Every structure is written in C-alpha cells, then in structure tokens.
Amino acid sequence: MASKTSCVWAIDIGNNSLKALRLTDINGAVEVLGFENIAHGKILSGKGVTDQERRELIAISLHECLEKNNVRSDKVIISVPSQNSFARFVNLPPVDKNRIPEIVKFEAAQQIPFDINEVQWDWQLMSGEGSAEKRVGLFAIKNEVVSSELAHFAGENIAVSCVQMAPMALYNFILYDRPELFKSEREAIAVLNMGAEATDLIVCTANSVWQRCIPMGGNSFTRAISEAFKLNFQKAEKLKRTAPMSKYARQILQAMKPVFSDLSSEIQRSLGFYTSSNPNVKIVKMIALGGGTKMRGLVKYLQQSLQIQIERPDTFNRLAVNTDAAKFHENVGDFGVVYGLALQGLGYGKIESNLIPKSAARASVWRQKAKYFTAAAVMLLAVSLLSFGRTFMDMTAYNSSENQKLRRDAKDIIRQVDDADRKLSQEENKGPQFDAKIDSQFELFQYREIIPQLYETLLSVLPNEKNTPDQKELYEAFAAGNVDGVLQMPRKQRKQIFVTSVSIQFSKDIETAALGRSSFSQSRPQRGSETEMDDSDMVMPGMGGPGGFYPPPSRGGRGVSRERGRSSESTETGQAGFVVTVAGYSPYENILELMDPIGTKDDQLRWGVVTRLLNLKKIVDGNSPFELYKKLETAHFELKVEPVQIGGSIPTGVGLMKNVESDTKTGQKETILVDPMTDEVISQVARKTADGRVQMDRQGKPVYETNDYWFELKAKFAWKNAPKFEAEDTGGRRRR
C-alpha cells in the first residue's frame, strides 16, 4: 500500500465542470474537508470552442477553485480521461519475483500500441503475494496528453504529485466504498460514468478490472435536440436541462430516443464482449455516475433494456462529510472519480499506478524542498555566529568576581522554587477529591433529555400528514384552526387521535414493574360554564420539571429506589425502561384500525399507532433509544377501547360537558360531551324520532347511537443502552 498522508486534494477537469475533493484520514476513517464543483463558462467540447478558449475556460475554473481553497499546502492528484489513456491486464510466465520488472518492461513494449518512448507508463502487480499466477496491469498515456493536463496546474504554480486514469480511480472508489458488493470473483459490478463527450464502462471484481470508453455522452443528447429543433448548441443544452418542466417534454424525449437506443446498444455490446471473454463471471449490478446520468428517464431506460439492476447513489457509504453536507450530496454522482483519486492519495487505493513524468515528479519534489534548504542554511549560519559570540561573553561574565554574589543569590532562589514546587504538588494532589465532588453535582443533569425524547416518539406515531397522507388536508385544516375545513370530512371518517393524558414512569427493571394505573374520571357536569375545565386535566405525569422525573445518575445522590419484587440484598438491576400510559379518544368509526390493525405487514400506509411503535427503527429519524417491550404478553401490554358515554368511566379530559334538550315534548335536558373545536357530539346520545322525541326499544329504554371512542394504551418501553443503576441494601446504603 502506498504511504498515507494527512490531507489530499483530488481534481478532475471534465468537459462540463471542474470537480475537486479534499479528504483526510483520521484514525482510519476518511472524512471530507472541502469540495468544489465549478461549472465552466461553456461546455469545453461544445461546438465552436477552440483549443485556446478551452485552456482559458479551464484556467478560470481552476483559479476560482484556488481562490476558495488552499490547495497548494496539500498533496494534489489529478485524473486523465479514459479516451486518452491505455490499460491492459496480462498474465506473466512463471518467473522469479526479482525478474518481474524486466518481464513487465518487455510486455509493455509489446502490448502498448505506441512508441514506448512517447508515453508515460506504469505497472502494478494485481495478484496476491502467494498466488501462482502473476497478473499485472499496464497503464499508459501519451506524453503530450500528460503535459497538457499538467500545464493547467503549472500555470497556477501547483505541484501535482500523481496522475491517474479516470477508470482506475472509479475502480478504487467502488472497491473501497462498497466492499459488500464483491462477495465472489464470479460476480462482477459494472460502473457507468457518463460525461459530456464519452461514457466510461468499468467492470470490476475484487481482483480484476476491465474498461471501455464509449464515445457517447451528454453532448450526444444535446446534438440530437439541436438537430431536431434547429437550435445552436448552447440553446439545445439549456432545453435538455429543462426538459422535465418544458411543455415540449414529449417532443424533446422523442428527439433523444435514438441516442437512448444507441447508448444502450453500445453498453450491451461491451458487456457481451466482457462476458464472452469471462464466461465464469456474471454481472449482477451496475452503478451509474456522472452528470449525464441525471437525465430524466435514462437510468430507468437502461435498466429495462439491459435487464440489470442499476443504482444511482445519492451518498457515499464510507465517507464522513464535515462541511456543507446538503450541497455535497447534491453532487455525489459527479464525485466518483475524485473520490477514487483521493483514496489513492491517502493510501487506500487498490490501483496505485502513477503516470506523472519522472522529470516532473523530481522537479516538484525539489521545488518544494529548495526553499527549506535555503532557509535552513541561513539559519544554521546565523545560529553558529550567535553561539560563538554568546559563549565568549558568558565565559567572561561567569569568571568575573562581581558575579559571585549573584550565583549565591541564584542558589537561594532555586531553594525557594523547590519549596514552592513541593507545596504546589501537595495542593495538586487534592485535585481529584474536588473533581469527584464536581462530578457528583453534574450527574444530576444526566439523561434529562430522555423523557422529552420519549414524548416526541409517542407523538410521532400518531396519525399525521406523514403517517396518513390520504387525509393531509384534514390535518392542515385542524392545525390552522379551520373548523369549516375540518367539517368537510364526515366525523366518523376522520383518522384522528386526540391524546388527553400521558403518564411515564421510570423503572430500573420493566420486567417486574406493573403497568401504569388508569387515569379515569366519571363523566359528570363540570363546575361553572360548559367550557370550564379542572386544572388537573392538564397534568401529564412524567414530564420534567416540578413533580416530574428524570432518570437518576449512575452514582451519587439518593434518586435510586428498589423495584417491587426484587430482593433488598440485590446488587443488580434488570432491563431499565419506562412504563407508559396513553389515553385519549378518536372520532374514527374503526378505532382499532388506527391503533393496532391486523395483517398490515410492510404496508406502512396501513400501520397503526402500535404497529409504528413496533417499528421505531423505520419511522424515527436516527437510532431510537426505545423499543416496545413484549407486546404479546398481557403483563406488559394492554389496549382498551370503549365508546365515549356519559355516566361511564372515561379518560380525564375527553370532550366538554354540555346540557341540551333531549325531548322536545317534555323539555327534558340531557348532558352530552362535545368536541372542543367543532362542537360536534362525541358521546353516546339517544336517537330521536322524526318529531324530536327519544326513540325507545321494546323494553321502553332509550336507543343510543355511538359517536367517538376512547382508548387507553398501557405499554412498556425498554431503554436501550441505559446506564447501569446501583441497588440499595436494607440499611439504605448503596451497593454495587
């Protein structure tokens, strides 16, 4: 493996833009420190762009990159396009290891289709150390191509350390970032990188790589549009980029259809050649990169025509981003080449060949070292002169009789300093005692965010715009206080859940903890007016603050108590977690469909509250610290659903009491519960006849109609990665 460096800049100058990526290696983890994706003023391969104008456009983009970033202080590695390079892999005859360079040089002269003196070339042994077969990769590029690329950087006084072919950089990228794809040498992964003028097709296994440059790219589609609509190149390019929003989208797609077909045929022909040359290898997947693959419908078309699964990544799996992550992920598809280049610069590349001319490499090294040599020589001369002069002066002063007293005073001061050092050490030794006291005070604030996070988790599983998108307009109207908008949907069809109380209790061992107590109140007329509510209805047990609870720290304080059913001599606790009771009501006519539906499987649109609690990993952003505990056991989970009725036990806070006339003939009053927002009846009410009287059954009893349902959910949640809590002995002292 190549030597590793702290930071490296990888730069790829394409026909459409300049891509640059700065990576660093921190304890084996690769992180992004900076990146750029600077579009050229024009597409370099566009019609009418001269060589001089092309060089000027590249210089402008490169200068803009240097103004934003300090590129010169790091190692720089650049790429050359595949159409200007040569790569071939050959098997060597069985020879001694020391003779491999000699045999490789002979093979290079035979295989490279140019005069060996007119190219820059390099080689790499691809087979393992103990492998009987010696397979090497030969890489070459013409001198004028390398010189042309290096000239752009020489004009900005940038020392380039390495030159690599773009396809080999893509091989380094896919092998490092997606190692899970390379399970067997019989399964290959294809990488398709579409640029402006050409498309690179690279077929990769763990120990081999095959590449072909297809002379078709994004500009091929632009030219097709230009010819079909009689537009110049720049206008055709703009029309291609805005095609999805254009009213002529169908005509644009029709104009590009032949290019779609030709590109698919070329890829199919190339893959067919590879599989015929490697009959034991099957191509199982294709990774699509490059700006050209952003074209709408292209990936889907290729997937259907090639019958291969195609993935266009929107992130890099093994790359941490410490800068503008959102902007970086917008350009992930364009950064495949620079990612692979930077990996080689950091020493993580499978292919380590370097096509930089040896003269340029030596000049770069000496150019970097020359200034240090000069500075070192000047400093050495100055230090030598100062040292000689100072030595002579110090010797004269030391031997002077006048300095005898100064030396005695110096010894006294040294003794005083030693005494001060001893006293300082004594005081410093007391530091751990004070640190322990400080830590014990701050432990009170540990884990104070866990209860609000549990509340947020409970709220996130309720029906809302995300969980129940088919009633999005209802939730928006409710959030805006738009009563008319809410009433547009019949009440019994509203997939809403109103939570009236939440109780959360912490337990060091939820296996032995009892389910929470119910918070019921007899539905009765409340004091005062019909909208008056007792203050106790607003209490939500378990909230932090006065009367609330935070999980106790692992040591210190007196906040840890013994759990019921556990021996007073126990020194261990079980699974820590929370006992939760949630109560409320719903207008939906089938409340069980909202709470705990049956047979939903992976259909998330049909999931209920309990289903989402069972799948917190899928619906909660990040790694949820909670897990629903033993839902199938009645000792740990209970769900109760009943109609809302006056005179029965219902959860606290369900609806508002209201007196209405129940019988127009007798004038009899009836107490009902109504929705606080819409004033709709939510409790059971007696049915009325056509003349307004109460409908009776055969026994002379009123016939009631059910409206809303109340529910009470009791459950336990395991606290994953909870701290270890201490138990107490019978004397109230802590035991570990």
CB-CB neighbours of 201 under 10 Å: 22
Alpha helix (H) residue ranges in 180-306: 218-229, 233-241, 249-277, 298-306
Same domain, 244 and 329: no
- Same domain, yes or no: 458 and 418: no
Residue 76 burial by Cβ neighbours in a 10 Å radius (0-12, 13-18, 19+): buried
Give domain status of residue 562, yes or no. no
pLDDT in tens, 43-97: 888 778 898 999 999 999 999 999 999 888 889 999 998 877 888 888 888 777 7
Do 547 and 675 have their domain in common?
yes
State the pLDDT at residue 497.
Answer: 95
Give the per-residue pLDDT at 448. Answer: 84
Are 100 and 239 contained in the same domain?
no
Q: Is the pLDDT of residue 524 over 70?
A: no
Which residue in the block uniquely carries the two structure tokens 């509510």? 533
In tens, the pLDDT along 591-648 reads: 999 999 998 888 888 999 999 999 988 887 768 899 999 999 999 999 999 999 988 8
The first and second tokens of residue 202, run together, are 């690279």
Residue 31 three-state SS:
strand
Determine the pLDDT at residue 543.
32
Higher-confidence residue: 640 or 524? 640
Q: CATH code at 27?
A: 3.30.420.380
* pLDDT tens digits, 667-716: 677 888 999 999 999 998 888 888 778 888 888 888 888 999 999 999 99
Q: Helix, strand or coil for residue 479?
A: helix
Residues 232, 269 within the same domain: yes
Condensed to tens digits (0 to 9), the pLDDT of residues 125-137 reads: 887 666 667 888 8
Residue 731 lies in a domain: no
Q: How many structural domains comprise the chain?
A: 4
What is the Cα 14 distance to its own chain's centre? Answer: 28
Same domain, 582 and 666: yes
| Window from 328-342, 370-384, 677-691 with minimum mean pLDDT | 370-384
CB atoms closer than 10 angstroms to residue 192: 25
Give the chain's mean pLDDT: 83
Q: Are 150 and 212 part of one and the same domain?
A: no
Paired sense of beta strands 320-321 and 162-165, if any: unpaired
Supply the pLDDT for residue 548: 34
Cα 478 vs. chain centroid, distance in angstroms?
Answer: 33
- Note whether residue 113 is domain-resident: yes
Whether residue 692 sits in one domain with residue 591 = yes
My answer on whether 454 and 350 are in the same domain is no
Last residue of some domain: 262, 290, 316? Answer: 316
Order across the sheet with 119-125: list the strands. 85-92, 134-142, 119-125
695: helix, coil or strand? coil
* Mean pLDDT, range 10-25, rounded to an integer: 92
pLDDT tens digit string along 103-154? Answer: 888 888 888 878 788 888 888 888 766 666 788 888 888 888 888 889 999 8
Q: Are both 29 and 84 inside the same structural domain?
A: yes
Q: What is the pLDDT of residues 236-278, one digit of tens each?
A: 888 888 887 888 888 888 888 999 999 999 999 999 999 998 8
| Of residues 15, 52, 429, the one with CA closest to residue 194 | 15
Strand partners, 30: 25
Would residue 116 count as lying in a domain? yes
Residues 277 and 330 in one domain: no
Domain for residue 730, yes or no?
Answer: no
Helix, strand, coil percent content, the chain, rounded in steps of 5: 40, 25, 35
C-beta neighbour count of 258 within 10 angstroms: 13
pTM above 0.85, yes or no: no
d(CA 188, CA 280): 10
Residues with Cβ within 8 Å of 52's Cβ and at least 6 positions away in sequence, in order, are none
Which domain CATH number covers 189?
3.30.420.40
For residues 426 and 420, the answer to whether their CB atoms sit within 8 Å is no
Asked if 300 and 328 sit in the same domain, the reply is: no
Measured CA to CA, the distance from residue 107 to residue 100 in angstroms comes to 10
DSSP state of 688: B
For residue 233, tell me if it sits in a domain. yes
Read off the pLDDT of residues 211-223 as tens digits, 9 standing for 90 and up: 999 999 888 888 8
735 assigned to some structural domain:
no
Q: How far apart are the first and last CA of the chain?
A: 49
Instruction: Please tell me the predicted confidence (pLDDT) of residue 550.
Output: 37
Task: Indicate whether 540 pLDDT > 50.
Answer: no
Dihedrals phi, psi of 671, to nearest 5 degrees: -90, 130
Boundaries of domain holding 398: 378-440
Q: Which residue bears the tokens 């859940």? A: 497
pLDDT at 384: 83
| Angle of CA points 390, 393, 397, to nearest 5° | 135
Neighbours of 14 (CB within 10 A): 24
Any domain includes 694: yes
Rounded Cα distance between 90 and 111, Å, is 9
Q: Which of 299-308, 413-422, 603-612, 694-703 has the lowest mean pLDDT?
A: 694-703
